[in-house]
């Protein structure tokens, strides 16, 4: 009886620690968006430098997620979780103390490294600590907390920026991290997968390829597409990604096994996720600034006005989960992505320098409902598209592709914004935002069409994975 109570207590501690850590990592994806005008006023910076304050985090986060999981498997999941949390906390403090925009970008990249090590291990540690009978409930709670971070990011960032300072969007992580570190050391159990192998060539290829492409997209806004460095980034980045794909087919233990994409369900949900985040993140990057720079809202007011869009998943997710159970995940995801595309289109159709909030509201609500319908069944579709032994790789791949989509979305839509408008006047900002958001809507519509590829009740058909026994020892 005593042992059962101790096990239950360990599960509760694991749920609390991993959920709070996951909340911090997810929050830092969007918390910066409503602070961008204040950061620009405080530190200076051109459009491309503002892009990098977002992309420096999402890019390092994306390309190192699966490497972080592999490091934890090999050297100890709790140990690497503590390393990632320490790096994330220290980088948050450094970002808050940044004297200039370049330093802020650098420390945001280091934050992403810490999050990439920490985030994939939260689910592994939580799954190991919670009994199978309660695992679904625990993972549901973890998912809800992560969703809350995404929903509240613009509001928290806006409130701290307006009422304290933009630096506090980073200072907020420091006391939380310092509290979690000793708790994680004392309350989480250590576990290993001794046979796990690192794919250093694969990580270098995908990191270099993505950096080259995103660098070229961001730099094109100021340097033009014919600039040698821009062309070099595009060509070299594309070539490196091509070699990475080939490596994923041929290597023995690749960081991303390309054979998984032969399965229609896995290919469909992952490509839909990448495109959805591309359209959504790029649009949020511009719309959060539009509300402040053009309509004159304060950071807090901008965050509140975005809640019908970003916060809707918290209200609609239970209904979406029921619909997914009743009709299957595919129709719910396709409907959600279609509604998200319609929402962005409605928003783009009404944007003017003097647009009323009432005119914006339909697009925000429809887009928010669409986002909720996508998020609820997406994780289940990813997990059900592969065999049980491959679910860790599948989850890491899906998270990485979503982050890559976000980084590309900010870069692509900001390039459109820069080509059609700018920061010169409210009208110029509107002229750049409207075509960019229309393109975001189109990309999400393509994501809906891609999701149609998912089989109605598909089952994983990939080859059986190699298995490895895990050794678990309870922390002292």
What HEC string does 83-127 produce? HHHHHHHHHHHHHHCCCCHHHHHHHHHHHHHHHHHHHHHHHHHHH
pLDDT in tens, 200-220: 898 889 888 888 887 887 777
Q: How many residues does the chain have?
A: 476
CB within 8 A of 351, min separation 6: which ones? 290, 430, 433, 434, 437
Task: Kindly indicate the confidence band of residue 135, based on its pLDDT and cuts at 50, 70 and 90.
Answer: low
DSSP 144-201: HHHHHHHHHHHHHHHHHHHHT-TTHHHHTHHHHHHHHHHHHHHHSPEEE-TT----HH
Q: Residue 12: exposed, middle, or buried by beta-carbon count in 10 A (0-12, 13-18, 19+)?
A: middle
Using the predicted structure, report yes or no on whether residue 463 has a pLDDT greater than 50: no
pLDDT in tens, 162-192: 889 999 999 999 999 999 999 999 999 888 7
- In whole angstroms, give the CA distance from residue 245 to residue 293: 41
Q: Residue 303: exposed, middle, or buried by beta-carbon count in 10 A (0-12, 13-18, 19+)?
A: buried
What is the number of H-type helices and E-type strands within the chain? 18, 2
Top pLDDT among 268 and 150 is at 268
**Predicted pLDDT at 143:** 67
Q: Which CA distances in Å does 185 have to 17, 129, 178, 476?
A: 10, 14, 12, 9
Among the listed residues 232, 245, 468, 271, the one whose alpha carbon sits nearest the alpha carbon of residue 382? 271
277 in Cβ contact with 409 (< 8 Å): yes
Task: Kindly indicate the confidence band of residue 460, based on its pLDDT and cuts at 50, 70 and 90.
Answer: very low
- In whole angstroms, give the CA distance from residue 259 to residue 246: 11
Using the predicted structure, report yes or no on whether residue 468 has a pLDDT greater than 50: no
114 in Cβ contact with 84 (< 8 Å): yes
Rounded to the nearest 5 degrees, what angle is found at the Cα of 410, between the Cα atoms of 85 and 59? 35
Which of 3-12, 74-83, 255-264, 428-437 is least confident? 3-12
- In whole angstroms, give the CA distance from residue 56 to residue 191: 31
Among the listed residues 38, 375, 69, 413, the one whose alpha carbon sits nearest the alpha carbon of residue 218? 413
C-alpha 461 chain-centroid distance: 27
Tokens of 237: 């980045």
Mean pLDDT of 10-22: 89
Task: Kindly indicate the confidence band of residue 309, based on its pLDDT and cuts at 50, 70 and 90.
Answer: confident
**Predicted pLDDT at 423:** 82
Among the listed residues 375, 384, 364, 349, the one whose alpha carbon sits nearest the alpha carbon of residue 458? 384
Tokens of 261: 């994409």
**Predicted pLDDT at 465:** 41
Map tokens 């600039």 to a residue.
227
Task: Kindly indicate the confidence band of residue 67, based on its pLDDT and cuts at 50, 70 and 90.
Answer: confident
Mean pLDDT of 274-279: 92
């Amino acid at each position: 009886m005593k042992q059962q109570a101790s096990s239950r207590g360990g599960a509760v501690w694991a749920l609390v620690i991993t959920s709070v850590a996951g909340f911090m990592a997810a929050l830092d994806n969007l918390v910066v968006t409503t602070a961008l005008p204040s950061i620009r006023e405080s530190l200076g910076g051109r459009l491309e430098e503002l892009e990098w304050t977002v992309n420096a985090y999402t890019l390092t986060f994306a390309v190192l997620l699966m490497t972080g999981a592999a490091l934890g498997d090999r050297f100890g999941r709790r140990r690497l979780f503590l390393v990632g949390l320490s790096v994330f906390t220290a980088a948050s403090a450094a970002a808050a103390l940044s004297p200039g925009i370049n330093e802020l970008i650098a420390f945001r990249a280091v934050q992403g490294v810490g999050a990439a090590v920490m985030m994939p291990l939260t689910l592994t540690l939580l799954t190991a600590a919670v009994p199978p009978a309660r695992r679904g409930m625990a993972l549901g709670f973890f998912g809800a907390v992560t969703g809350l971070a995404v929903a509240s990011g613009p509001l928290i960032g806006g409130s701290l920026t307006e009422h304290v300072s933009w630096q506090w969007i980073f200072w907020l992580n420091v006391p939380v991290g310092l509290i979690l570190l000793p708790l994680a050391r004392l309350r989480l159990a250590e576990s290993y997968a001794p046979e796990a192998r690192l794919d250093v060539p694969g990580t270098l290829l995908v990191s270099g390829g993505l950096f080259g492409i995103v660098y070229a997209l961001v730099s094109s806004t100021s340097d033009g597409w014919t600039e040698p460095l821009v062309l070099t980034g595009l060509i070299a980045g594309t070539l490196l990604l091509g070699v990475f794909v080939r490596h994923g087919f041929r290597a023995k233990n690749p960081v991303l096994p390309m054979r998984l994409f032969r399965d229609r369900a896995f290919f469909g949900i992952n490509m839909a996720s990448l495109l959805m985040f591309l359209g959504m993140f790029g649009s949020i990057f511009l719309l959060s600034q539009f509300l402040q720079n053009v309509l004159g809202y304060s950071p807090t007011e901008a965050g509140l006005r975005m809640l019908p869009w970003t916060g809707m998943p918290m209200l609609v997710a239970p209904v979406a989960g029921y619909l997914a159970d009743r009709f299957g995940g595919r129709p719910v995801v396709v409907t959600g992505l279609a509604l998200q595309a319609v929402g962005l289109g409605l928003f783009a159709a009404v944007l003017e320098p003097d647009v009323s909030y009432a005119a914006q509201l339909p697009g925000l609500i429809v887009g928010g409902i669409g986002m909720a319908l996508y998020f609820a069944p997406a994780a289940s579709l990813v997990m059900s598209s592969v065999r049980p032994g491959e679910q860790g790789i599948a989850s890491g791949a899906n998270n990485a592709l979503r982050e890559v989509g976000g980084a590309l979305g900010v870069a692509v839509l900001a390039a459109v914004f820069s080509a059609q408008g700018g920061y010169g006047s409210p009208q110029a900002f509107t002229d750049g935002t409207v075509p960019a958001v229309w393109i975001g809507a189109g990309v999400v519509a393509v994501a809906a069409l891609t999701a149609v590829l998912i089989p109605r009740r598909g089952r994983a058909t990939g080859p059986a994975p190699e298995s490895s026994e895990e050794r678990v020892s309870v922390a002292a």
